[in-house]
Copies of this chain bind each other. A is one copy, B any other.
Amino acid sequence: MNITLRQLRYFKALAEDLHFGRAADRCAISQPALSVQIRELEENLGVELFERQPRALRLTQRGEEFAERANPILQAVDELGDWAQTARGRGLSLLRLGIIPTIAPYLLPNFISALTEAHPKVDLHVRETVTPRLVDELLDGQLDAAIVALPLDEPALVETPLFTEEMVLIRPNTDQNATPVQLDTLASMRLLLLEEGHCFRDQAISFCNINPNRPGGGLDGSSLGTLVQMVGAGIGVTLIPEMAIDVETRSAPVCINRFDAPAPQRSIGLAWRASNPMGEMLNELADIVQKAAGRGEDQQPAA
């Protein structure tokens, strides 16, 4: 009642050999098996494809037409097999990666070159937004992986820690320079923070043990760069991750203070859906990110 690929393959062999015995050999089946399959194909179609003469077998006109349609199908199926073989062996082809904004600008340049070095053909799509969106899009299947601050505490996601980074205090140049500070001295300063939604804001708040209600008097910055400029203008102080130091403090009259141990720090990791069958490759991706961060030695398991 239904055409099968097997029948099409047998038909093709018979159409080429025009001899049941030889065609059956080529198909590695017995002659009666071929006879039956061809008969069933013709019955299914309701069309006679072969003209059986006692001595000579030949395609009917309909058989010729059928061959012209059947052969491309078989070819397409073969190509599907080839595709599978390639797909099986090959690594990433498309990587839809999310990154939080407080990491993206500092990590991406290194990461992109490391990635294209390891996987020259990969097509990278980067999505830069705050963690909750990244998590949603991961769960949704819109992203393959995301670089975020750990932990996420999403049971459907796997997290692999990449590195930890310390936070540093940025103060106006007019303040006394370069002296390590204690965390608790922060409470007395006007601390400028990122807008709500950024995980870095929450981390800063929790590290400093300060009142989460507008510690900067509503003067939230939309990026670390903005915060640093604000500090340079003498409005207050801020925290930034050490990774951002080079880029952000270059053009502002600020000084950088590291904290005394134990310095506040956060763990950055790669997350993906536990069910993603590319898991193995995403582990490899984590290695690449780690190298790109140039901080493989800092790795430490997330809590």
Contacts and interface: CB of A to CB of B under 8 A. Distances in A.
Q: Give the oligomeric copy count.
A: 2
Interface stretch (A74-82, A202-210, A248-256): A74-82
Contacts of A58: 141
A43 to B, nearest CB: 11
B275 A46 contact: no
A144 B61 CA distance: 10
Interface residues of A, number: 45
Interface stretch (A31-39, A64-72, A171-179, A216-224): A64-72
Interface string A55-95: 01010111001100110110011011101110110000110
B277 A80 contact: no
Contact of A87 (B65, B73, B275): B65
Given A5-B5, A76-B72, A94-B61, A275 B51 contact: yes
Contacts of A73: 73, 76-77, 80
A278 interface: yes
Contacts of A144: 61
A83 B69 contact: yes
A48 interface: yes
Given A47-B84, A51-B276, 4 more contacts: A45-B88, A53-B275, A65-B87, A72-B76
Contact of A141 (B51, B76, B278): B51
Contact of A4 (B5, B45, B65, B277): B5
Interface in A83-127: 83-85, 87-88, 93-94
Nearest to A51: B275
A52 B93 contact: no
A69 B60 contact: no
